[in-house]
Structure formats: structure tokens, C-alpha cells
């Protein structure tokens, strides 16, 4: 197996200090300090970060406090379940609701339960400047190409697949990857078969061994209040009008900041047991043309079954259906609070407010509809 992954891998420890020194003098570092390290002076933080010389120290001194601060200021509770059943190294395949937070909250849960942090996929579209590259690659993020010709994307997928398998089997490092390319915006969490095909591209064994050795562990992250809910509803509305949706300059950055800073209420992360050889054996008995699809469906079932349904999900479902079948899951007060929150968000709509309201509700109702 080709182990030369310098073009996509995170930084090794000996590369971290140079990255820290670049961060310390970057114009954006002052913003980070003011936003996430209240009470610390800029000079103190510059001195501290300039002395960091390995990935683990960066994660514990910078990233862990930052994520903890986000949780403290934007959530009312954070919980997780199922980590005690996982092997040393596994492939976390997760529903994808926020650009950065999904993977960040996984890392927070891993540290909190005594596990090593995992590698994290990092889209090339987000690696546009050295500041972001240095933060990402010092935080175990590895590059995933988002553009290119069909041949280039195919070759990159093979390379990425080899890196993921190398990390899990040889480095004993877990990996986080989303179940699809881009965030779920309609509330329906569905695994793209292309992602599963990519996993298998590096395997030299039969179907069962190929996927069993990756320890595929489906992960469900559930936000009571969806990050970027209005922005997602607005984008889907604009797409519904026809034509191609083109992101505006800085749109990804705005989504990252909005997702981080927007109130999220309660948040839960649930981990399923890894897909077993026995489950893969059942799938292997189907038509070979359907095996990838069947594996994707199994992962979907695990993700959707473990999704924590909040009162906001049930309220939205009833508001859309109009029949009140879920009313035992919420109170009149929580319903009134959610409606008030939604209407406040919808004040941002310049046109199409009624259609955007319907889409907004469908984002929250989707997990109820999709429950196995």
C-alpha cells in the first residue's frame, strides 16, 4: 500500500511548532483570543501558542477549551452515549448537520471519555488560507478534494481510501467522515453510496473482510436547534425556484461562524456498535450489484435509530401535518417557544416567507419522518 500521504495528511508533531508561530502572528489570532479566551491577554496567548510543539498539546490547550466554551455559551446540555463499546480505532461515519461542530463535538466526547481524538476530513474548499490550514492540520484534519475532473476525483478517492485504511489498520487512529458530501439541509440524513464505494477502493480482500476491518461505527448527532436552520431553509427555497445555486463569496465562512455561535439548545451524540462481520455476511449474500446500497441502508438505519428526537422535532412534525399525533412529546409552552423562535428567524426572509417557513419546519420534522 502506498503510504506517501504528504499531500493530504495532517501535520506530524515536528511540523506543529512552525504552524503555531504562524498562527501567533496572523491577523485573525486576536479575534480568536477575544472570542474564546476571555480574560487572557493577546501577548500571553501568543507566547503560549508559540511554545506548543505537538498535536496533542494543541488540541488540549487550544481546541478543547474552545469547544468547551462553545458548548457553555450556545448549548443548554451536551451528552453522548455508546463510546464504551467501541474498539481502539474505528471509522466514524456521521450524519452531517454543521460544517465544523459535528466533528468537533466528537473530539470533545472522545477526550471526555478517555479515548484518543480522531482524524477528521477537511474539505479543500475550506483550506483557502494558511491560517485555516494551520489550525486544521494541527487538529488531525486531512484534506479531501472537492473539485476536479472525473479522473482526478477517482484517483483522489482511491488515495483517500488508502489513507483512511492506513490510519485505522496501521496507525490505530480513528477517522471521522460525514455520510455525504456537504451538510444535510432538508432534515433527511442519508448515506451516499459513493462514500461507501470510496471506503472499499483500498481493500484487497472479499466484501466482508474489506469492510469489517474498518470498524465502521455509525454516529448520530442531534441538535435541539439546528445550526444554520434559516440559512439552510433559504438555500433550499432558492434552489426550488430553479437554476443552479451559486455560493456567494464568504458563504462557507459565514455558515461556520453562524453554526458555532447560534444557540443550539440540547445536543446529543450517539454511537452505534461497529458494523459487524455477521451483518456484512448477510449483505454479502445479496446481488453483488446491491451490496454497497445495502450497506449504506444499514448505516442509515443505525444513524436514524440513534438520532435523539427533541421536542422541536415533534413540534415541527405536528405543525406540518396539522394532526397533533406527537403532542405527548412536548408541552404547550415548548410549542409556543419554538414557534416564537421560528418566527424570529423568519424575519430575515426578504421574499418567499411562507415557503421558507414550510422548508424550515421540514428540516426539524425530517428526523421524525425518517425514524425506522
Q: Does residue 33 sit in the same domain as residue 174?
A: yes
CA distance 10 to 4: 12
Lowest mean pLDDT among 46-60, 131-145, 235-249: 235-249
CA distance 80 to 109: 7
Residue 87 belongs to a domain: yes
Per-residue pLDDT of 302-315, as tens digits, reads 999 999 999 999 99
Residue 241 belongs to a domain: no
Q: Provide the domain limits for residue 320.
A: 313-369
Q: Does residue 51 sit in the same domain as residue 148?
A: yes
Q: Does residue 35 sit in the same domain as residue 162?
A: yes
Residue 285 belongs to a domain: yes
Q: Does residue 361 sit in the same domain as residue 286?
A: no
2 — pLDDT class (breaks 50, 70, 90): very low
Overall domain count for the chain: 2
CA distance 266 to 338: 14
* 166 DSSP 8-state letter: H
358 C-beta neighbours (distance < 10 Å), count: 15
pLDDT of residue 250: 76
Helix, strand, coil abundance in the chain, percent, nearest 5: 55, 10, 35
Residue 176 belongs to a domain: yes
Q: Does residue 357 sit in the same domain as residue 281?
A: no
Q: Does residue 285 sit in the same domain as residue 341?
A: no
3 — pLDDT class (breaks 50, 70, 90): low
Residues 6+ away with beta carbon under 8 Å from 140: 10, 55, 59, 117, 118, 119, 120, 173
Residues 6+ away with beta carbon under 8 Å from 252: 99, 125, 126
Radius of gyration of the chain (CA): 21
1 — pLDDT class (breaks 50, 70, 90): very low
Beta pairing class for 141-144 and 91-94: unpaired
Residue 329 belongs to a domain: yes
List beta partners, residue 93. 177, 218
* 274 DSSP 8-state letter: P
Residue 30 belongs to a domain: yes
Whether the CB-CB separation of 349 and 234 falls below 8 Å is answered with yes
Q: Does residue 268 sit in the same domain as residue 349?
A: no
Q: Does residue 165 sit in the same domain as residue 180?
A: yes
Q: Which of 275, 290, 308 is the last residue of a domain?
A: 308
Residue 236 belongs to a domain: no
Per-residue pLDDT of 263-285, as tens digits, reads 999 999 999 999 999 999 999 99
Q: Does residue 300 sit in the same domain as residue 355?
A: no
248 C-beta neighbours (distance < 10 Å), count: 7
Per-residue pLDDT of 151-191, as tens digits, reads 999 999 999 999 999 999 999 999 999 999 889 999 999 99
Residue 188 belongs to a domain: yes
Q: Does residue 130 sit in the same domain as residue 183?
A: yes
CATH number of the domain that 214 lies in?
3.40.1130.10
Per-residue pLDDT of 70-99, as tens digits, reads 999 999 999 999 998 898 899 999 999 999
Residue 188: phi and psi, rounded to 5, are: -105, 110
Contacts 24+ apart (CB under 8 A), 331-335: 335/311
Q: Does residue 211 sit in the same domain as residue 337?
A: no
Angle of helix 29-36 relative to helix 42-50, nearest 10 degrees?
110
Q: Does residue 318 sit in the same domain as residue 179?
A: no
CA distance 84 to 243: 47
Amino acid at each position: 500500500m502506498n503510504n506517501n500521504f504528504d499531500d493530504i495528511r495532517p501535520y506530524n508533531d515536528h511540523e506543529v511548532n512552525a504552524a503555531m508561530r504562524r498562527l501567533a502572528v496572523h491577523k485573525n489570532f486576536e479575534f480568536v483570543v477575544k472570542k474564546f479566551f476571555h480574560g487572557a491577554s493577546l501577548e500571553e496567548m501568543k507566547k503560549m501558542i508559540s511554545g506548543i510543539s505537538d498535536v496533542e498539546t494543541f488540541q488540549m490547550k487550544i481546541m478543547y477549551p474552545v469547544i468547551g466554551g462553545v458548548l457553555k455559551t450556545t448549548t443548554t446540555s451536551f451528552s453522548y452515549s455508546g463510546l464504551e463499546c467501541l474498539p481502539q480505532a474505528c471509522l466514524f461515519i456521521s450524519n452531517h448537520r454543521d460544517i465544523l461542530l459535528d466533528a468537533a463535538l466528537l473530539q470533545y466526547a472522545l477526550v471526555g471519555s478517555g479515548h484518543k481524538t480522531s482524524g477528521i476530513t477537511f474539505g479543500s474548499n475550506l483550506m483557502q488560507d494558511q491560517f485555516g490550514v494551520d489550525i486544521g492540520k494541527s487538529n488531525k484534519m486531512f484534506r479531501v478534494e472537492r473539485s476536479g475532473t472525473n479522473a482526478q476525483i477517482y484517483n483522489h478517492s482511491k488515495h483517500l481510501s488508502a489513507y483512511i485504511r492506513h490510519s485505522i489498520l496501521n496507525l490505530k487512529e480513528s477517522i471521522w467522515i460525514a455520510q455525504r458530501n456537504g451538510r444535510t439541509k432538508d432534515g433527511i440524513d442519508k448515506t451516499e453510496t459513493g462514500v461507501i464505494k470510496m471506503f472499499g477502493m483500498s481493500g484487497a480482500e472479499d466484501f466482508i473482510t474489506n469492510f469489517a476491518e474498518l470498524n465502521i461505527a455509525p454516529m448520530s448527532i442531534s441538535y435541539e436547534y439546528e445550526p444554520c436552520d434559516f440559512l439552510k431553509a433559504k438555500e433550499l427555497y432558492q434552489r426550488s425556484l430553479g437554476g443552479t445555486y451559486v455560493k456567494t463569496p464568504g458563504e462557507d465562512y459565514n455558515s461556520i461562524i453562524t453554526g458555532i455561535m447560534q444557540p443550539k439548545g440540547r445536543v446529543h451524540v450517539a454511537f452505534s456498535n461497529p458494523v459487524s462481520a455477521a451483518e456484512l455476511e448477510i449483505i454479502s449474500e445479496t446481488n453483488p450489484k446491491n451490496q454497497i446500497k445495502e450497506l449504506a441502508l444499514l448505516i442509515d438505519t443505525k444513524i436514524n435509530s440513534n438520532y435523539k428526537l427533541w421536542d422541536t422535532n415533534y413540534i415541527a412534525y405536528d405543525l406540518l401535518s396539522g394532526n397533533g399525533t406527537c403532542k405527548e412529546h412536548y408541552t404547550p409552552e415548548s410549542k409556543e417557544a419554538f414557534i416564537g423562535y421560528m418566527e424570529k428567524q423568519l424575519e430575515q426572509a426578504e421574499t418567499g416567507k411562507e415557503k421558507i417557513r414550510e422548508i424550515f419546519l421540514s428540516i426539524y420534522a425530517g428526523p421524525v419522518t425518517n425514524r425506522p
